[in-house]
């Protein structure tokens, strides 16, 4: 792993939802200065789309698959 134990933190939140089913969520945090060795830094411009958007059928197919 590219990070030392003092540079990364993880937590787990869980409980019973209103429908009675268990749910869980992981949160992973990495110190900002630790990301610099991967080439990530606050001055870096944000990611943007560089090409045309996929056709509408592609989006619809992706949404259908995401529901399962």
Two tokens, residue 44: 């870096």
CA separation, residue 45 to residues 23, 39, 40, 41, 42 (Å): 35, 12, 10, 9, 8
Q: Where are the beta strands (DSSP E) in 1-68?
A: 8-16, 22-30
Which tens digits make up the pLDDT trace of 47-63? 666 678 778 888 888 88
The candidate with the shortest Cα–Cα distance to 8, out of 30, 27, 26, is 30
**Residue 47 burial (C-beta neighbours within 10 Å; 0-12, 13-18, 19+):** exposed
pTM over 0.95: no
Which tens digits make up the pLDDT trace of 18-27? 999 999 999 9
């Amino acid at each position: 792993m590219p990070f030392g134990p003092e540079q990364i933190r993880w937590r787990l939140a869980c409980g019973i939802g209103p429908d009675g089913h268990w749910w869980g969520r992981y949160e992973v945090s990495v110190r900002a200065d630790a990301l610099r060795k991967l080439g990530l830094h606050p001055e870096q411009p944000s990611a943007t789309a560089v090409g045309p958007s996929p056709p509408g059928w592609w989006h619809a197919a992706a949404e259908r698959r995401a529901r399962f």
